[in-house]
Amino acid sequence: MIPDWMQKIEARACPCCSVSSTKKKSFVQKAISDILTFFEECLVNDAIARRKGLFQSLDPRVKVVSIIFLIFALAMTHDIHILAVMYAFIFLCAWASSIEMWFFIKRVWVFIPIFAGIIVIPILFNVFMPGDPFFVLATLAPNSHIGPISLPAEIAITYQGINVATLFVLRVACCVSAAVLLFLTTPRNLLFKALRSLKVPKVYILTLDVCYRYIFLFTDMVRGFYMAKKSRSLKVLPLVEEQKWVGSRIGYTLVKALGMSEKVHLAMVSRGFNGDIKILHQYSIKNRDYVACVCFFSIGIVMILASWNMLTI
């Protein structure tokens, strides 16, 4: 029996309205769309890993070992010129691996201002790192201090600070570029399996693999939550209400994730899983893999020796 209020068909015409495109977006909408963009890029990355290119043609174990050694060597280097050459070398590798340069630059530099930039800012100033002034920002009264910290007569950016900051940012950029190059050119499943060659315990590899598989499912579910709410939202809710909703959905996602992990475990048990993780290895190292491995180790060693003035180039 359909109630009377439900039987009424509204005859009111649609109200015309215009909404400015410059208005702020809902924070929930923004957060979800940004998360989805990130996962979208993950999918695109898998497409890069399937392309034909220099790094794609190498054995994943060789890539993992070589890149880890290269990162170690970069961390040991304290010469800006060598780091600049290495940055160019990594770019060359990315180009030879069919990665679009602009995409590669964006992937690397999006994190550097956040992680390296903020850390390095204090080093620029003579308050934290004394040196020759490059640019004087302010002149203070004699014997100025903040609490127990006494301040110099002039607050300035120093040459030495700029040098150290550049070295630090360049080193981070090189290390991140090398890591991004590895992630972009290696399918995730092969990357996880290659970690076994570094004796990473199997349980971690299985956990990573399962996480990667199900994170897409849960992302899709989160997007569904938002869509469902949006389709039933007649008015903009107060921020607190929105936050409450986000909190409740986080809780629900956790409940679903726990439930699903139990079911996934049961599905594994039903197919013979008894706690002993078996990972299929089907790798074959070719001559080019040996050559690449030797090249990367040689470059790394030369870089360290040159940086420590044990080798003159």
Q: Which is nearer to another protein, 11 or 149 (CB)?
A: 11
Cβ 14 to another protein, closest distance in Å? Answer: 3
> Which tokens in the block code for residue 174?
């090189």
**Contact predicate 178/55, CB 8 Å:** no
Q: Which is nearer to another protein, 36 or 208 (CB)?
A: 36
Q: Which is nearer to another protein, 207 or 233 (CB)?
A: 233
Q: Which is nearer to another protein, 256 or 265 (CB)?
A: 256
Nearest to 79 by CA among 68, 87, 69, 91: 87
Cβ 101 to another protein, closest distance in Å? Answer: 19
Cβ 210 to another protein, closest distance in Å? Answer: 21
Cβ 49 to another protein, closest distance in Å? Answer: 15
Q: Which is nearer to another protein, 28 or 174 (CB)?
A: 28
- Which residues sit opposite 298 in a β-bridge? none
Phi, psi of 138 (to 5 degrees): -155, 150
Three-class SS of residue 156? strand
Cβ 29 to another protein, closest distance in Å? Answer: 5
Cβ 212 to another protein, closest distance in Å? Answer: 17
Residues whose CB is less than 8 angstroms from the CB of residue 125 and which lie 6 or more positions away in sequence, other chains included: 137, 155, 156, 157, 158, 161
| 200 dihedral zone (left: phi>0; alpha: psi -120 to 50; beta) | beta
**Binding positions for another protein, rule: CB under 8 A:** 1-3, 5-10, 12-17, 19-21, 23-26, 29, 40, 43-44, 221, 224-225, 227-236, 245, 248-249, 252, 255-256
Measured distance CA(90)–CA(173) in Å, rounded:
10
Residues whose CB is less than 8 angstroms from the CB of residue 184 and which lie 6 or more positions away in sequence, other chains included: 45, 48, 49, 94, 97, 99, 104, 107
Cβ 19 to another protein, closest distance in Å? Answer: 5
Q: Which is nearer to another protein, 6 or 146 (CB)?
A: 6
Nearest-Å Rg of the Cα atoms of the chain is 27
> Which tokens in the block code for residue 17?
């309205």
Measured distance CA(225)–CA(88) in Å, rounded:
45
Q: Which is nearer to another protein, 30 or 281 (CB)?
A: 30
